């Protein structure tokens, strides 16, 4: 089973993550993005769908991560799903 520590280890530069769910309905899903930079507290993801800006995914506390399968996880905010990703 995937753990939060394994998620952070797997999210290396060049790794592809696919957003499978987003709390903002304006964000098209599924959508693949690539890890561009790794820091201890966050990863920088490539721009999506013609946008020019990259965006940061700041790692929450481990209690705000839900493991959804062997390669999938959800970021929670106040106990509610915010973003879901899977490694591709």
Instruction: List pLDDT tens digits, range 30-62.
Output: 989 999 999 999 999 998 776 778 999 999 999
Radius of gyration of the chain (CA): 12
Q: What share of the chain in percent tops pLDDT 90? A: 80
User: How many CB atoms neighbour CB 85 within 10 A?
Assistant: 23
pTM of the model: 0.89
Beta bridge partners of 58: 42
The torsion region of residue 18 among left (phi > 0), alpha (psi -120 to 50) and beta comes to beta
In this structure, are residues 23 and 44 in contact, taking their beta carbons and an 8 Å threshold? no
Residue 73 has pLDDT above 80, yes or no: yes
């Amino acid at each position: 089973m995937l753990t939060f520590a394994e998620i952070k280890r797997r999210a290396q530069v060049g790794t592809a993550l696919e957003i499978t769910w987003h709390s903002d309905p304006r964000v098209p899903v599924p959508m693949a993005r690539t890890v561009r930079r790794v820091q201890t507290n966050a990863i920088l993801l490539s721009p999506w769908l013609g946008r020019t800006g990259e965006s940061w995914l700041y790692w929450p506390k481990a209690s705000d991560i839900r493991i959804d399968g062997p390669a999938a996880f959800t970021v929670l905010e106040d106990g509610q799903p915010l973003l879901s990703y899977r490694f591709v």
